[in-house]
Homo-oligomer: A and B are copies of this chain.
Amino acid sequence: MRPTMKDVASAAGVALKTVSRVVNGEPGVNPGTAERVREAIERLGYSRNESARVLRRGRTSTVGLVIEDVADPFYSVLGRAVEDVTTAHGCLLLSGSSGEDPARERELIRTFCARRVDGLIVVPAGEDHSFLRPELDAGTPAVFVDRPPGPGLDVDTVLCDNAAGARLATRHLLAHGHRRIAFLGDRPSIFTASRRLHGYRAALGRLFDERLVAMRAPTPEGVRADLERMLALDDPPTALFTGNGRLTMTALRALRTREDGRRMALVGFDDFELADLLRPGVTVVAQDPTSMGGLAAELLFRRLAGDGGPAEHLRLPVRVIPRGSGELPP
C-alpha cells in the first residue's frame, strides 16, 4: 500500500541503503544522487515507517504522561509544559487521563510501556506502583509529579510544599482575626489532600476542631451538605480553606446561595482563571503547574541522557496571592 524505502530505491535506481542515507541526512551521498532520491520520495509520497525504525533502533523517542484528567485546568497546563520540553528534545508526548482510577492508571502505564516509551511522567492515582519495577529495571526512567509513588519505589519526584502551603493559608486567615476556620479537602487517600490537612491542622494548633473538617470528592451536593452542616453549628466557621481549585469553585457556588455564606472569608489552594475577577477576588495559595511539568520533563531527559545519580526530590514553593476573600474580617 504505502511506498517503502525499497520502492523509493528502485524508483530512483539506487540501493535501499542510499535512500536510508538521504532520509536520515547521513553524509556520504553524491548531491546528484541525493536529488534523484528526494525527487522519487516526493513523487511517491514516501514517509518513513517509524515502527520499523523503532524496532531496529530500540528507541521510540516518545515520553508517556499520565495525569488525572487532560481537561483539568491544573493538569492540562502541567501537560502542556511537559509537551513543550518533550518537543524541544525531538520527542513525541503520549498522554492519557487516569481519572483518579488506579486500574486505569496501571492500564495506561502498561500501554505506554508496551509502546516502549523512553520514559514516564506520572501523576499517580494509585497507592501501589510495584508494577513499575520491571519497567524501571529495564531502563525506563519515571518521574512522579504532584504526588509521590507508593512505597518501595525510589524515583525522581517533583512535588509542591503542600503542608507549608496549607499552613500559609491557615495563618493568613488567623492573621485576619479568624478563629473558626473550616477545611474542605479532597479524599484523604489523595496525597496532596492529606498533606494539606496536616498543614492546616499544624497551623491551627489547639484551635483545631474536627467538626470543621470535611474531606471528600468535590461534588456540588457533597460540598453543599458539608457547608450546611458546619454553618448550622452553634459556633459556625467564619472562614474557609479549600483544598484544591475544583473544591474552591464548588464551594464558591454553594456559598453564594446563602446570605451567611457570602461574608465567609475564603482561601483556596491552587490559583485559577478569573479568581481575580470575582467579587471579592479569591485569595489563593498558588502553585506553578508550568514549572512543575517543565521541571519533571527536564529531570526525565537528564535521566535519558544518562544521569544515573540518586533519585532527586524537588519541592516547589507556593505563595499566597491576596485578592480580597482571604482578608475579610470574621
- Chain B residue at smallest Cβ distance from A81: B71
- Chain B residue at smallest Cβ distance from A293: B71
- Give A86-108 interface residues, CB cut-off 8 Å to B: 87, 92-97
Measured between beta carbons, the chain B residues less than 8 angstroms from A96 are 83, 87, 92-93
Interface segment, A48-56, A190-198, A222-230?
Answer: A48-56
> In angstroms, how far is the closest chain B Cβ from the Cβ of A125?
15
> In angstroms, how far is the closest chain B Cβ from the Cβ of A10?
19
- Chain B residue at smallest Cβ distance from A82: B70
| Given A92-B111, A114-B48, A76:B71 Cβ within 8 A | yes
| Given A1-B139, A50-B115, A76:B83 Cβ within 8 A | no
Which residues of A does B touch, CB under 8 Å? 1-2, 45, 47-52, 54-55, 58, 60, 69-71, 73, 76-77, 79-80, 83, 87, 92-97, 110-111, 113-116, 133-134, 137-139, 249, 252-253, 256, 272-274, 276-279
Measured between beta carbons, the chain B residues less than 8 angstroms from A276 are 253
CA distance A118 to B253 in the complex (A): 43
**Is B278 within 8 A of A249, CB to CB?**
no
**Is B45 within 8 A of A114, CB to CB?**
no
Measured between beta carbons, the chain B residues less than 8 angstroms from A58 are 1
Q: How many copies does the complex hold?
A: 2
Q: Which of B50, B77, B95 contacts A95 (CB 8 A)?
A: B95
- With A83-B96, A249-B273 given, name 5 new contacts (CB 8 A): A48-B114, A50-B116, A73-B273, A92-B96, A92-B115
**Is B60 within 8 A of A70, CB to CB?**
no
Measured between beta carbons, the chain B residues less than 8 angstroms from A50 are 114-116
**Is B70 within 8 A of A80, CB to CB?**
yes
Measured between beta carbons, the chain B residues less than 8 angstroms from A278 are 274, 277-279
**Is B51 within 8 A of A116, CB to CB?**
yes
Q: Mostly helix, strand, loop or mixed at chain A's interface?
A: mixed
| Given A2-B138, A252-B277, A253-B277, A73:B70 Cβ within 8 A | no
Measured between beta carbons, the chain B residues less than 8 angstroms from A139 are 1
> In angstroms, how far is the closest chain B Cβ from the Cβ of A1?
6
> In angstroms, how far is the closest chain B Cβ from the Cβ of A244?
14
**Is A71 within 8 A of B60, CB to CB?**
no
CA distance A273 to B156 in the complex (A): 34
Q: Which of B73, B97, B279 contacts A80 (CB 8 A)?
A: B97
CA distance A69 to B81 in the complex (A): 11
CA distance A1 to B70 in the complex (A): 33
- Chain B residue at smallest Cβ distance from A246: B273
CA distance A97 to B86 in the complex (A): 12
Q: Which 8 A/B pairs are nearest by Cβ-Cβ distance?
A: A45-B134, A71-B80, A76-B76, A51-B54, A50-B114, A71-B76, A50-B115, A71-B77
CA distance A70 to B139 in the complex (A): 29
> In angstroms, how far is the closest chain B Cβ from the Cβ of A118?
12
**Is B138 within 8 A of A1, CB to CB?**
yes
- Chain B residue at smallest Cβ distance from A274: B274
